[in-house]
Structure 1
Amino acid sequence: MIELSYPYPEPPADGATREIAPGLHWLRLPLPFRLNHVNVYLVEGERGWTAIDAGVDTAQARALWEGLLGGLLADKPVERLIVTHYHPDHVGAAAWLCGRTGAALAMGETEYLTARVHRLATADDLGAERDFYLRHGLAAEQLGLMAQRLDRYRSVVPDLPRRYSPIRAGDRLKFGPFEAEATMLPGHSPAQVLLHAPAHDLLFAADHVLPQISPNVSVAEEKPEDDPLGRYLASLAELPARVPDRTLVLPGHRLPFFGLHRRCAELAAHHAARCADLARLCDPAAPPTVAEIVPRLFTMELDAHQFWFAFSETLAHVNLMARRGEIAEVRDGSLRRWRRA
């Protein structure tokens, strides 16, 4: 198991690119979130370009794309846009970019349909789950933060392309000099697309395996008893058997890196430690709600976007540990509390 290393320690500036292999360019785009950037990868083919992910749709991001279309991308058309998953920092500008360039969208069907559902969601939809969140201890003003998150998705994903080519597990995608096999892995999103190009020892990992930070793994409000963390941990155990350790990992955030197998092990250990912390908090003498656990695990100040992630990720650990029998539910009137088993 090799150590983590970063062959490109200095990222490009926002809107700038860096060539990291022949025909493969690393682009950084800004985000209006605390995680303030997303990595996009541009691959040059004989007749045109393929973009992997699109960033959010903001005036700033459009201006940066326009600069690229008049610069690096000026001599050949953008033929295809591959979107790895439905989160706004990856799919947000897809409709604008496809409309602007004529690029064809390729995306996993589950992820595309999930993006459509989230674009249609309103505060009224959250109201249908109101009792569920109240039972987990959220206050009315915290529910208001949840509603803000729904509005924010539409603000940076104002539209989606009406047509797309579905990517399926096992598909082989050719772009530029690369041929990559598509893998769908759950956890951070329902079926995030990873692209492994074994002949070039490259893995376009999107947000499934990130260096230095842990991908968010959340329980969605429409699937409140779901266990995405269990599936994510299973995928971390599976991925090293598929992808050699010598592979250069191209993540959706932070820096490209070597050391995939060690990073998978570190992420699994991180979640094991989180479960241990949560178990200590689930005191049988004073069992907490999920809402009471959140500020004990996440001590920084949280905006609406971050609060939803913190709550939903805490709930993901609770659901996993309840399935394992490590914690048990305690009913306190309408509230759901949790104690160590």
Structure 2
Amino acid sequence: MAEKVYENIYKIEIPLPKNPLKALNSYVVKGKDKNLLIDTGFNTKECIDALIQGMEELEINFNNTELFITHLHADHSGLATFFQEKGVRIYAGEVDGELINQMTKMEYWKRFNEFKIIFDLEKDEVSFEDHPGYKYCLREPISYVPLREGKGLQVGEYFFEVIFIPGHTPGHIGLYERNHKLFFGGDHVLDRITPNIAFWGFGEDILATYFNSLGKIFEYDIDYLFPSHRNVIRDHRRRIGELYLHHKERLNEIINIIKKEETSVRDVASQMQWSIRAKNWEEFPSPQKWFATREAMSHLEHLYYIGKADKILKEGKLFYKEK
């Protein structure tokens, strides 16, 4: 069902069955000559049906609509191939666009087997095949128009500036409309829930990158921040302050865990507090173990980068201890 959220801007709620996120906010900006759809949902029939129903309610079709993908995650990019087959022009960021296409190849997912060893997740017998990113991503590469910061898209009365906001993913992008003070932020800033800040590789302190991107958006003049999940945000600076505090508390929590002895990434994650309906780590669903461990890893690496933790590799597994 399509819901009007601003003049000529609508939200289509896309169900994400059996997923803690529950739903994706896909947005449509209607223009006289063309329309812009922002993010798609998983590569599933439920998501396709919801999107098509919303498009029909708004009286738009594939011929007069373009697709903008904020970042690589499958709940945002999963139906890109479906839209490409309909002849829809697709926009994606330079960094995440390349990763979206890499996700269609098994080599990308086999890296998770390396992470499983490094994180000490082998003891949980998890598999990348349980990961929603693998289960619901697109299966064929897409052709897309690569976007970088400074590029712009005109849709009706709105001119959107592309904003580079890495952190949640390596190449997350958003759209800022300066005249109306609107921002489509994907998963960069969410209300009531916090974006997952995962480890992507050893070449970057991704948590610090996320902090920098939060600070960047803090300075923008925004009346309506349209996130990909949950509620529209009217006070983005308040929410960004809460997100900074959340991660500060996370870092302190982890320091207390690694204070006494060298601890593996998996064992750190298992001792952290998570908002999930599970009594203990053993009851965590396999996908949530992936998410939790990669987030623990991003925080551990941040502590290492800023000189508050040491790390050591033993038998292929990483262990961290307070410095």
Query: What's the TM-score once normalised by structure 1's chain length?
Result: 0.85
Match of 2:308 in 1: 326
Q: Is the contact made by 1:47 and 1:77 (CA closer than 8 Å) also made in structure 2?
A: no
Match of 1:316 in 2: 298
Q: Is the contact made by 2:104 and 2:141 (CA closer than 8 Å) also made in structure 1?
A: no
Task: Tell me the distance in 1 between the aligned counterparts of 2:247 and 2:109.
Answer: 33
Which residues of 2 match residues 256-295 of structure 1 at below 5 A? 256-284=232-260, 286-295=261-270
Cα–Cα, structure 1 residues 74 and 179, in superposed 2: closer, same or farther, change >3 Å?
A: closer
Matching residue's letter, 2:67: L
Task: Tell me the distance in 2 between the aligned counterparts of 1:121 and 1:60.
Answer: 25
Cα–Cα, structure 1 residues 69 and 203, in superposed 2: closer, same or farther, change >3 Å?
A: closer
Match of 1:51 in 2: 37
Cα–Cα, structure 1 residues 44 and 325, in superposed 2: closer, same or farther, change >3 Å?
A: same
Q: Does structure 1 residue 139 correspond to structure 2 residue 115?
A: no
Match of 2:46 in 1: 60
Task: Tell me the distance in 2 between the aligned counterparts of 1:127 and 1:195.
Answer: 31
Q: Does structure 1 residue 302 correspond to structure 2 residue 284?
A: yes
Cα–Cα, structure 1 residues 93 and 78, in superposed 2: closer, same or farther, change >3 Å?
A: farther
Which residues of 2 match residues 155-170 of structure 1 at below 5 A? 155-160=135-140, 162-170=142-150
The 3-state SS of whatever aligns with 1:183 is: strand
| 4+ residue segments displaced more than 4 Å | 330-335
Residue 337 of structure 1: how far off its partner (Å)? 2.4
Task: Tell me the distance in 2 between the aligned counterparts of 1:21 and 1:64.
Answer: 21
Q: Is the contact made by 1:51 and 1:78 (CA closer than 8 Å) also made in structure 2?
A: no
Segments of structure 1 that go 5 or more residues without pairing to the other structure are: 1-15
Cα–Cα, structure 1 residues 225 and 93, in superposed 2: closer, same or farther, change >3 Å?
A: same
Task: Tell me the distance in 2 between the aligned counterparts of 1:210 and 1:141.
Answer: 30
Cα–Cα, structure 1 residues 328 and 43, in superposed 2: closer, same or farther, change >3 Å?
A: same
Which residues of 2 match residues 229-268 of structure 1 at below 5 A? 229-241=207-219, 243-244=220-221, 246-268=222-244
Residue 160 of structure 1: how far off its partner (Å)? 4.8
Cα–Cα, structure 1 residues 135 and 65, in superposed 2: closer, same or farther, change >3 Å?
A: closer
Which residues of 2 match residues 99-248 of structure 1 at below 5 A? 99-100=85-86, 102-121=87-106, 125-126=110-111, 129=114, 133-142=116-125, 144-149=126-131, 152-160=132-140, 162-220=142-200, 223-224=201-202, 226-241=204-219, 243-244=220-221, 246-248=222-224
Task: Tell me the distance in 2 between the aligned counterparts of 1:216 and 1:69.
Answer: 29
Q: Is the contact made by 1:204 and 1:250 (CA closer than 8 Å) also made in structure 2?
A: yes
Q: Is the contact made by 1:328 and 1:340 (CA closer than 8 Å) also made in structure 2?
A: yes
What do residues 226-249 of structure 1 show as CA deviations (whole Å, max 9, x unaligned)?
3211100111122222x11x5210
Cα–Cα, structure 1 residues 58 and 326, in superposed 2: closer, same or farther, change >3 Å?
A: same
Q: Is the contact made by 1:47 and 1:76 (CA closer than 8 Å) also made in structure 2?
A: no
Task: Tell me the distance in 2 between the aligned counterparts of 1:161 and 1:49.
Answer: 23
The size of the alignment, in residue pairs, is 315
Task: Tell me the distance in 2 between the aligned counterparts of 1:123 and 1:91.
Answer: 16
Task: Tell me the distance in 2 between the aligned counterparts of 1:154 and 1:291.
Answer: 21
Matching residue's letter, 2:76: H
Q: Is the contact made by 1:108 and 1:192 (CA closer than 8 Å) also made in structure 2?
A: yes
Residue 53 of structure 1: how far off its partner (Å)? 0.9
Task: Tell me the distance in 2 between the aligned counterparts of 1:235 and 1:204.
Answer: 14
Residue 67 of structure 1: how far off its partner (Å)? 2.1
What do residues 42-68 of structure 1 show as CA deviations (whole Å, max 9, x unaligned)?
011112321011111211122223323
What do residues 286-327 of structure 1 show as CA deviations (whole Å, max 9, x unaligned)?
332111111111453422221111000000000000111111
Residue 146 of structure 1: how far off its partner (Å)? 3.3
Task: Tell me the distance in 2 between the aligned counterparts of 1:226 and 1:314.
Answer: 15
Matching residue's letter, 2:106: A
The 3-state SS of whatever aligns with 2:66 is: strand
The 3-state SS of whatever aligns with 1:269 is: helix
Percent of paired sites with the same residue: 23
Q: Is the contact made by 2:309 and 2:321 (CA closer than 8 Å) also made in structure 1?
A: yes
Matching residue's letter, 1:111: D
Larger RCO (alpha carbons 8 Å, 6+ apart): 1
Cα–Cα, structure 1 residues 303 and 84, in superposed 2: closer, same or farther, change >3 Å?
A: same
The 3-state SS of whatever aligns with 1:174 is: strand
Task: Tell me the distance in 2 between the aligned counterparts of 1:206 and 1:170.
Answer: 18
Q: Is the contact made by 1:85 and 1:107 (CA closer than 8 Å) also made in structure 2?
A: yes
Match of 1:86 in 2: 72
Task: Tell me the distance in 2 between the aligned counterparts of 1:162 and 1:330.
Answer: 40
